Structure 1
Amino acid sequence: MTPIRVMPVAVLSVCVAAGAARAEAEKPKQEEMQKVEIKGSAAKYDARRDDTASKTVVNAEEIQKYGDTSVNDVLKRLPGITVGGAAGRGGGEIRMRGLGVGYTQILINGERAPAGFSIDSLAPDVIERIEVLRAASAEFSTQSIAGTINIVLKKALKAAQRELKLSQAKGSKSSSSPSMSLQMSDKQDRTSYSFGANAWHFRYDRMTPTWETGADADGAPDYARASSWQDKGKGDGFNLSPRINWMLEGGDTLTSQTFFNWNRFASNSHGRTETAFGDGPDYDRSDNSYSNHSAFGRTDLNWVHKLEEGAKFDLKAAVSEARNTADSLQLAGNRGLPATLLRTVTSASTEQGFSTQGKYSTPYTFDDKDAAEHALSMGWDAGVTQRDDTRVQRDADLPGSSPINSDEGFTAKVTRLALYGQDEWNITPRWSVYTGLRWEGLDTRADGDSIDPVQNRSSVFSPLLQTLVKLPNKKDQIRFALTRTYKAPSTAALIPRKFTSTNNSPTEPDRRGNPNLKPELALGLDASFEHYWGDGGLLSASASVRRIENYTHQGLFYEDQRWFSTAINDGRAETRGIELEAKFPARVLVDHAPNLDLRASVSRNWSRVDSVPGPDNRLDQQVPLSATLGIDYKTPDGQMSTGSNFSFRNGGLARLSGTQGGYTSVRRDLDVYALWKLDPQNNLRVAVSNLLAQDYTTESLYNDSHGSINRMTVASGEAQLRVTVETRF
């Protein structure tokens, strides 16, 4: 049924109503056949296969399969998505097409999280589904050059449900992480609700070694140093996510949803450097303590008003607030002499926001003779954010010291407005087209005692086109997408305040914002072929290309006897990629095969930055190759299931500018899980993540006419065993 592909809920409702109207005029047997046909069509609806705008949906069962406590661990197993950094250390960049910070748009319920909020702190148990959009749509922001990942939080259920999960994780190197999750939902008359609560604690103790070597202009080694960094830390946090739905007269709905996140963290670290020959660093020993408290809350109210002939109006308003405080103390010295650096840094930030979204949508046909179905919608997305940020650095006036004191506070206001319209059009039963237009404007203003006033205004007009062609054999289909997207500079990147490094060098520079940054603009083309067969079988191949103007990267400069880094616009860049994916149950290949589900994917990415000399002039240290391989098994009685997933991410050398480079090692993750359904109310889940426990190596490189520097750091890998008890009551 073609209409189901474009508007599955609305069209299905029309079909059901039409079937009911015919029921009295038809025979009982015909009536029964009609009901079976409608239910079958609804059950077979698949967003990835049937929606014109390309979208992959990961459901709650897949999200919770491995008992993860971090959403990053869920994302690393998805085809075409990689997570940066060392396994198990958290905070890694989430990448699509191998591209890093800012190129991949991360949304929570369709909205961006505030600055400083870590997606890694979002508990998977509060997530209903994850939507992966590889091509931009007008309804969401087009700040999505690589793509969009929309994390949708759980909603109220129709049936009563109460579930408690208790989990304990233990690492191979003394780390531990207990956690708890409570999910409740119920319905009474026209009101339904859900409530989720998650709490966790973690503790770690790890050693990170670093080696740094230098050479003169002739390539002769002139110094060599070895450093060790011992870091002990602990943290706590919790999420709360209450939601209430009211069914109003006339079919309207009113929904209130709140999300609250709180975290605290503390660490003590000790750095020691030994110099084999040549000059040593400014400080060869450093003792540090750090603490952080953060909280984020958002509540929104959503009203859906039904109109005549299947039209509806969707209005949402939300308020949010985020608070973050941090304190650090650093004591450093050199060559066994008394300390010459005693530095305290105190920072605090508050971000308050208001946003509103509205959408009018309606099915439409141009005339009674025209069988083509349109799903038209138009709307707005607006918001304003006020941020107050202070950072005070004080260096004690010790003998032999050179104090650097600063008050880096600022106030910023970001205003955004977007207007859009889109049409999903079923031209024929086998051919559908999605067209969209979106205008989005941003205005950032900031001021502070230590900075000049900043005003940065930009706007982007994004035409979008996607099309889906279903071939006559009903198993194969082709997709094309042409998009214009962008990457806006973050507020922090625009503020020209300084962050000083302890041992200033080309590989450890100070940092500073740039108020003159412009958005990166990208023209993108995507194409894919999909083959479906059997019950759940899929083979797909896709290719993409992005041409980027105003490419932004970190420039390195030398000023007032110190190195500093700041973001700059620097010409053009281009990225290309191909992706292959397969998933299918074993029974589609072999009759009477075990109940196995198999899946595999591989992604190959290339890029080139015009202003950076090659070879290896990749965009934002792009991941050139990634792959996943997974298998799941379920016993015939469904009482036990098990599986494993292997993720591979290639690294290699990347040139960032004419003088800078970087290297990352290969990362291999092997995860396994087993789930036992002890009885209808109780489950036992056991999982081992990062079973290979591989170390992760990164290098920072610098080379100019005066010589070269190579700084290599090794983050140790750690396997983790997690046992989870799940009970329903």
Structure 2
Amino acid sequence: MHMNVLAAAVAATLSMTLAAAPAHAQQSAITKSDGAAKDGKDAKDNKMQQVEVHGAIDAYDPRRDDTASKIVVNRDEIVKYGDSNVLDVLKRVPGVTVSGNGGRGSEVRMRGLGAGYTQILLNGEKVPPSFTLDSLAPDLIERIEVLRAASAEFSTQSIAGSINIVLKKTVKAGQREVKVGYSHSHDTKGPNVNLQLGDKAGRLAWSVAANVMREHFSRKVYNVEEHVDPAGIQNGLRLGNLPQDGHVTRLSLSPRLIWNLENGDTLIFQTFVNDNHFQNHVHTLVYTGLGPPPAYPNLDQTMSNDSWLLRQEVNWTRKYASGAKLDAKLSATAGAASNAMYRAGAGSPGVGALHELVQSDNNVRGVNTVGKITNASWEGHALAFGWDGGYLVSHDARRVRDSYQPDVSPPGGDEFYTANVARMAVYSQDEWNVTPQWSVYLGARWEGIQTRVEGNTFAAAQNRSTVFSPLFQTLYKLPNTKGDQLRFALTRTYRAPVVQSLIPHRFNSANNNQTDPDAIGNPNLKPELALGVDAGWEHYWSEGALVSVSASARNIDNSTRNQTVFDGSRWVSLPMNTGRARARGLELETKFPLKAVIDTTTALDLRASLSRNWSSVDSIPGPNNRLQNQTPLSATLSADYKLAAFTTGGSFVFKNGGEVRVSADQVTYESVRRDLDLYVLWKLIPKTQLRVAASNLLGQDYIYESSYTVAGSGTQRSRTVYPGSPTVRATLEMKF
């Protein structure tokens, strides 16, 4: 009911704003919209207006000129290394880190914060639960916007910040481009093909981007488990060998149609299709050197995942004589994921053999609408009012069967559950040029989310949260300087529990213990609320040259983390609210062409960044009681050099790890990672070029450790090593 009233109020407000905009009003000297795409004719207009206001001879640069702090990664940077997925691109972006080795299941972090503190958007909208970034090919992306502070236009579920991935929008007449590549390493290999087509005909313009990839992997993973008694004497030791063999197949398709109507309106139809198949066979063999063996020392597991996602967007843009502009979008999403796990294990003495088939299916359907009206009738102001609402339904089913007796199910029976998520937000914002040197962004957003989960094995649970977020950002260009400016932002953000974390559905581990527990959701989770402050200094002294220093702070209430408990019979991991947390960060960045510091014609560009992050959770004893999975220190160094038909470069990414105290009894450890990547681009003929890239040249392994202490019993430790090896990719790129 409340959602309907709000929607009606938004519609009425927009109608009145359109009607009230005076036809004779003078167009504002600038039209800036925080976080909005600047393409086509509007982008050209904005650039001209930016030049007038700032008095700069350089082209419009969103990093420098927008009041809201952001980093824009353009298409040239995205495709530079010929990466197979967008996670490898993001790991080189200043202030952004990627967990693990960037493979399946990895997550993106800003300010070092994982576990959902960083909001991921696709074309400005939240991605559905079944979508993973490792399935997105870089060739489908137009640009990546890294938003350091929240703005009213996008959801304020962005405690650490937001990353908005914008799919290809540029349409080039007569575009015909194909890329054929192959990657190879000690444990992975496979081809990939990318196709780009585009053309214009009268009032119509269209483009199609497609990517297909097939990768086979075979690797050996190692695990060591040990147990020590309260006196520190080892009384348990298990050595595990987990050879893995599997493959990944991915197909992505993104067609786009632009129709410029006779009355000046524009209709844009964009479709995104993503289809993935993943299969992995793991044969676990555990040797027990000391203490009791696990329940299943010889465990054979085959896991498969088939998923698809379809998103259809229709975008309508209309301009009014008064200078107002309406931009509305309606999108529909459909997706499904089917997971199967076959487990066969030879039991220890007293434990029967395991022959189990676990099947789980997820179907998602949703509709979303976003829109805004901008009014530039008041000189020096860029006013905007908008809405963002949607409804998502998720149906899940889980079936467990004895593979030898397919009609026999466990005592609890099959599990079925449905989740309904309704979301509505309204916002207003104004970007005000107070003086030629000083601009202010003011925004306010109200957002409500209601989630209801019901199933046949648990009582229905309902979770409702509403958040009002006032937002303030400002940019001040210091007078009598060539390119010095100061930034400041004050924001209120939050993080609502995701649906899967609310469902009290249990997934059982085969060898249940403190470091390999069952997993279950918690319907009593509360949303996390954060108050954030950001401040920074930037210095621009030449085209493409900058130095930036920024600091941030976040106070987070109801912080959430996964903790392991003993429920009387088994060890279980579940998300819990753990009280107040505090996060602090410092970021340094510089980039410049060599000619900006010395008189040279050498085409060499240099970049460097450093991020240091701190955090603490009040309810968790120290040391190392920081937010779960936070990266305390990261740094990047990169260079690009161009000579005649050759362009080459490289990047070095350092990411510190270390221990994190999850609770008074539980500690996790993530290894330090050093990634060295190199590339060379050779322009063979005007329309054909060869790109060769090498990643993880240092052959870094990924190591994860966890430990759990039980008073009076001792400490259980687990260490898992995922071997890494250098990967070489060659891509032939042709235009025709």
TM-score computed with the length of structure 2 as normaliser? 0.92
Gaps of 5+ in 2: 1-27
What corresponds to 2:384 in structure 1?
Answer: 377
What corresponds to 1:672 in structure 2?
Answer: 678
Secondary structure (helix, strand or coil) at the match of 1:428 reads coil
Is 1:6 aligned to residue 32 of structure 2? Answer: yes
Q: Is the 8 A contact 2:269 2:314 kept in 1?
A: yes
What corresponds to 1:722 in structure 2?
Answer: 729
What corresponds to 1:213 in structure 2?
Answer: 226
Which of 502, 506, 514 is 2:510 aligned to?
Answer: 502
Which of 32, 44, 65 is 1:50 aligned to?
Answer: 65
Is 1:176 aligned to residue 198 of structure 2? Answer: no
CA distance in 2, matches of 1:181, 1:461: 43
CA distance in 2, matches of 1:694, 1:327: 31
CA distance in 2, matches of 1:447, 1:37: 57
- Cα 1:176–1:15 shift into 2, 3 Å: closer
Shift of 1:343: 1.0
- Cα 1:37–1:144 shift into 2, 3 Å: closer
What corresponds to 1:344 in structure 2?
Answer: 357
What corresponds to 2:660 in structure 1?
Answer: 654
Q: Is the 8 A contact 1:304 1:314 kept in 2?
A: yes
- Cα 1:697–1:680 shift into 2, 3 Å: same
Which of 576, 585, 590 is 1:582 aligned to?
Answer: 590
**Which amino acid in 1 is paired with 2:354?**
L
Q: Is the 8 A contact 1:430 1:471 kept in 2?
A: yes
What corresponds to 2:18 in structure 1?
Answer: none
* CA shift digits 1:431-452 (9 cap, x unpaired): 0000100000001112111111
What corresponds to 1:165 in structure 2?
Answer: 179
**Which amino acid in 2 is paired with 1:590?**
I
What corresponds to 1:29 in structure 2?
Answer: none
What corresponds to 2:572 in structure 1?
Answer: 564
Which of 371, 374, 385 is 1:358 aligned to?
Answer: 371
Shift of 1:194: 0.6
Which of 644, 663, 668 is 2:669 aligned to?
Answer: 663
**Which amino acid in 2 is paired with 1:701?**
S
- Cα 1:243–1:14 shift into 2, 3 Å: closer
Which of 127, 130, 141 is 1:116 aligned to?
Answer: 130
- Cα 1:728–1:43 shift into 2, 3 Å: farther
What corresponds to 1:261 in structure 2?
Answer: 274
**Which amino acid in 1 is paired with 2:368?**
S
Shift of 1:288: 1.2
Q: Is the 8 A contact 1:247 1:253 kept in 2?
A: yes
Secondary structure (helix, strand or coil) at the match of 2:474 reads strand
Alignment of 1:395-544 (within 5 A): 395=402, 406-472=413-479, 473-544=481-552
What corresponds to 1:26 in structure 2?
Answer: none
What corresponds to 1:143 in structure 2?
Answer: 157
CA distance in 2, matches of 1:345, 1:511: 15
What corresponds to 1:104 in structure 2?
Answer: 118
CA distance in 2, matches of 1:405, 1:396: 17
CA distance in 2, matches of 1:528, 1:15: 24
**Which amino acid in 2 is paired with 1:383?**
G
Alignment of 1:616-627 (within 5 A): 616-627=624-635
| Equivalent residue pairs, number | 699
What corresponds to 1:93 in structure 2?
Answer: 107
What corresponds to 1:21 in structure 2?
Answer: none
Q: Is the 8 A contact 1:202 1:236 kept in 2?
A: yes
Which of 683, 692, 700 is 2:698 aligned to?
Answer: 692
What corresponds to 2:214 in structure 1?
Answer: 201
Q: Is the 8 A contact 1:5 1:51 kept in 2?
A: no
Secondary structure (helix, strand or coil) at the match of 2:263 reads helix
Q: Is the 8 A contact 1:432 1:469 kept in 2?
A: yes
Shift of 1:408: 2.5
Q: Pairwise CA RMSD of aligned residues?
A: 2.3
Q: Is the 8 A contact 1:156 1:192 kept in 2?
A: no
Secondary structure (helix, strand or coil) at the match of 1:620 reads coil
**Which amino acid in 1 is paired with 2:665?**
T
Q: Is the 8 A contact 1:672 1:689 kept in 2?
A: yes
What corresponds to 2:13 in structure 1?
Answer: none
Is 1:232 aligned to residue 245 of structure 2? Answer: yes
Shift of 1:475: 0.8
**Segments of 4+ moved more than 3 angstroms:** 2-17, 36-43, 334-339, 395-398, 401-406
Q: Is the 8 A contact 2:47 2:59 kept in 1?
A: no
Shift of 1:221: 1.3
TM-score computed with the length of structure 1 as normaliser? 0.93
CA distance in 1, matches of 2:164, 2:200: 27
What corresponds to 1:79 in structure 2?
Answer: 94
Q: Is the 8 A contact 1:390 1:409 kept in 2?
A: yes
CA distance in 1, matches of 2:43, 2:109: 36
* CA shift digits 1:574-602 (9 cap, x unpaired): 00000000000001111015110000000
What corresponds to 2:714 in structure 1?
Answer: 707
Secondary structure (helix, strand or coil) at the match of 1:72 reads helix
Q: Is the 8 A contact 1:394 1:404 kept in 2?
A: no
- Cα 1:648–1:246 shift into 2, 3 Å: same
- Cα 1:321–1:10 shift into 2, 3 Å: closer
